[in-house]
Structure 1
Amino acid sequence: MTNNPYLTFKNDELAKSKILAKGLNISESDFINIQFWFDLLLLKHEEATSSHEEQLITEKELEAKFNELVSSEIERKSYKYILPKLLNYNNEFNGAFLRSLYVARLGALLRENLIPKLVNDKKLVYSPEDFFNVTIYLKDNYFVSPNSNFLEDILKIENVRGIFKQATSKVKFETLKNILHIIYQKTYHHDIICFKKILKLVSETDSELIGYLKNFQVENKQGCYKIINDILNLDLFKDNWNDFEIKIQLISFFDTARGANPTSSWNNKFQELSAIIDKKMFLEIVHAVLKNENCRIYEFDYGAQWGDDTAKRFLKSAHWIKDIL
């Protein structure tokens, strides 16, 4: 019997949904009504043809049923259960496990319509514990698509609501561990935008999280994260928090090298950092980065090679600094 990826996804997702619904205290009736819509979504995705007109009709039908669901069939508090499911389905629709690229309109329904509305809805409240449960549901994936805004939307849920401002250090740490696990799984890292957003969420009291970030590596062992790991583990300043804060600035700064020559903004940031980092220390940082010259190209297991643009930017910054010093 041929394996059906839709059935596999449906069963796996349903098992995770039951855990999420329990964690978010979703009623049985709401769980059933919501699952009915997602089952319909998945069925329509599986049955869709390449006809743009037919996909458009299906999209409108699903949107109408969704609006009916959220307006009259479930409690408003259950919206917080719907949103992570939308993120999960959208990620799969943009991956390679299902017929993702073939069904454009259904992806647009989620990515450009339903998800932004709920992500930006400040009336949709998540407690820190709720958000932790959401990240448990979202952390394991067949594939993390670079086209789904998956990580960006997860972090935006927190940013829009300031969830971590109410969280204990422990809950914040465990939640960010789950989000970092999503980054860990990516088969290729086109950029480090979401990782830098996570770095900016770290506060002085997050000692356990800081230690975790210093040890963080990605599954594909891509060069850009090897360089970041080397920077985070340099012994620069005695004060641990000051040391980490400056390293966050360094990571952000090294990632800004674009073009053949330093820009005015790059030069300005270098001058700013030079006021707190002396020449000897800067040369130590440069050496730590430049020892990764072989990280410019990432080679996949199957032999394909892609340029690691992030690693290239770090190396370019290091060369510019070396030339200046």
Structure 2
Amino acid sequence: MAIRKDVDRAASGPYAESGSQALSVKDVGRLLLRCADKPGLVAAVSAFLASAGANIVSLDQHSTEQSGGTFVQRTIFHLPGLSAARDALERDFGAKVATRFDMDFRLTEAAKPKRVAIMASKDDHCLLDLLWRTRRSELDMTVVMVISNHPDLADQVRPFGVPFVHVPASKDNRAVAEQRQLDLLRGNVDLVVLARYMQIVTPTFLAEVSCPLINIHHSFLPSFVGAAPYRRAKERGVKLVGATAHYVTETLDEGPIIEQDVVRVDHRHGVGDLIRLGADVERAVLSRAVLWHCEDRIIRYGNQTIVF
């Protein structure tokens, strides 16, 4: 379940985190935290940032219960010279605030785009959409490589100037393929996006890749698993076609949901129509999930997400 507060979601690129006016991302930091709810949390964070010379630009928070629940907060602040001060600021916050409240937290710089790898198979709609949006500066990220278990999409990726790496992968050579993929990814990327990558990712891979993975799939699950879901959905007479973007966990297709959307269909739509509409929804849902991750808007809570 995704819990989303309807706040302004500023476009990525040279300006971000804006409300009525644009704010340069230079010297803008993002502080995300999660801990047991108790009095004094907001005051402690605000006082720390003020004492460090930072100005809070925006602050979003949520408690899962009126008392005794889990507290999450996303704070955007401006601090001149943030890049040079970041490491010391992170250490000081850990020592003076996070330890006191037993917080999980992360501190990032808005001016440093996430380094992203995209994994794909033969379907191109999600892959090309992400590359196109990145080229247009709609996604605040750098795509450092595309990894595919098929060579089919190499020519389509080439015009974007992104390295395309073909790593043959199937259930018969999964261990060898994943080791090659890990050699490429480990330490080089902040996020891996499975853009219709049609291979199972093993727990070993998840443990060793050392960054989050986001997956996209149709929302017919668990009703129409396996091959030809749209054909079987048409035979069943579905009235909605949808898509789900979620973080990848060891349990297949059951990780924390980031975003979902649907479009209505009826008896006039053939299987081809359902596939086309499904691809449209998948593109939109995946791009939003990736955008929110790259803008540090997502805080995981159990098997859910809170998206600010």
Asked if Structure 1 and Structure 2 have the same fold, meaning a TM-score greater than 0.5 normalized by the shorter chain, the answer is no
More strand by share: 2
Q: Which has the larger radius of gyration?
A: 1
- With the length of structure 2 as denominator, give the TM-score of the two structures: 0.24
More helix by share: 1
